[in-house]
Amino acid sequence: MTYEYILARTEGRVGIVQFNRPKAMNALNRGLMSETMDALDAFDADDAIGCMVVAGNERAFAAGADIKEMAGATPAQMLDNPFIDYWDRLRKISKPVIAAVSGYALGGGCELAMACDMIVASETARFGQPEINLGIIPGAGGTQRMTLAVGKALAMEMILNGRFLTADEAYKFGLVNRVFPAEVLLEEAVKLAGELAARAPVALRLAKEAVNAVYEMSLQAGLAHERRLFYMLFSTEDQTEGMDAFINKRKANWQGK
Ligand code: CAA
């Protein structure tokens, strides 16, 4: 499959999507978002893939929604053709997705990284929700996910006053998992994705679902949901295999069943 705005490829059991609008700082227009989601959906449906990486280039992960595409829109047009649904589609991907962020991750770009399951960053990464400078607010989850990730005090500064976070700050405040030099970022992201992709596939998906339930359920409902998923895994061949492998001191051979 060839795309206009992204590059998609695989490395072992890892599916990689790289935004490819370098002249526009990878601004997220409809074409780019639609191709990204098509590629991720295809990887999600492919048994040969266990985990995905979404990346930009060294200068920009993505500088936000495409302001030039959005500038003249009316509320009715925004409602009729819901661009922001692409960020919701990302939430429905069942395999883990890692964002590899170098340079700017701003506005919708930062929201896209936060909608992934883990973020690895280069030392040059900058995270921000600068929509206030355009006379708007974040619309693809920024006010909610940033606040849950870094806490109210810092989220208020970022969203009300356009403060950017450096990679070190983002790491310190729990927004990103790991920080690497820019030259090795993609390689390290793919390595981490490869480790996840080698794990028991059904348990991996349900583990992702259970952690993400924190954002959507009360503690009581989340605990009950986790318990049901935990019991359900005792119906899989991989549970029998994993426990037998531990007891017999051998490596488990996962079947994804
Ligand atoms: N949309 C469209 N084009 C963009 C863009 C965006 N979000 N960000 C950058 N570009 C374009 C610039 O217009 C410029 O194009 P031209 O060469 O044709 O003029 C090109 O990319 C390079 O950008 P700059 O010359 O501005 O590069 P810089 O290094 O001086 O600055 C930057 C980089 C700090 C990222 C700056 O471009 C910037 O502030 N971009 C906008 C960031 C922003 O406001 N993002 C939020 C968008 S709204 C949103 O995302 C809503 C939502 O919640 C879904």
Domains of the chain: 6-197 (3.90.226.10), 201-247 (1.10.12.10)
Tell how far the Cα of 105 is from the centroid of ligand 1, in angstroms: 11
How large is the average pLDDT for residues 179-201?
98
pLDDT-based confidence at 187, cuts 50/70/90?
Answer: very high
Distances 68 to 20, 77, 83 between C-alpha atoms, Å? 17, 15, 14
pLDDT per residue over 99-121, tens digit each?
999 999 999 999 999 999 999 99
How large is the average pLDDT for residues 134-154?
96
Residue with CA nearest ligand 1 atom 18 = 24
How large is the average pLDDT for residues 220-230?
97
- Token pair, residue 82, equals 């819901």
Tell how far the Cα of 19 is from the centroid of ligand 1, in angstroms: 15
Residues 141, 151: Cα–Cα separation, whole Å: 15
User: Quick one: pLDDT at residue 82?
Assistant: 76
- pTM equals 0.96
pLDDT-based confidence at 79, cuts 50/70/90?
Answer: confident
Percentage helix, strand, coil for the chain under 3-state DSSP, each rounded to 5: 50, 15, 30
Can you give 152-179 as a three-state secondary structure string? HHHHHHHHHHCCCEEHHHHHHCCCCCEE
Tell how far the Cα of 132 is from the centroid of ligand 1, in angstroms: 14
User: Quick one: pLDDT at residue 77?
Assistant: 87
Strands 165-166 and 14-19: unpaired
- Token pair, residue 133, equals 């400078």
User: Quick one: pLDDT at residue 155?
Assistant: 98
Q: Probe ligand 1: pick from 29, 61, 67, max atoms within 8 Å of CB? A: 67
Buried b (16+ CB within 10 A) or exposed e, 35-62: bbbbbbeebbeeeebbbbbbbbbeebbb
pLDDT per residue over 122-134, tens digit each?
999 999 999 999 9
User: Quick one: pLDDT at residue 215?
Assistant: 87
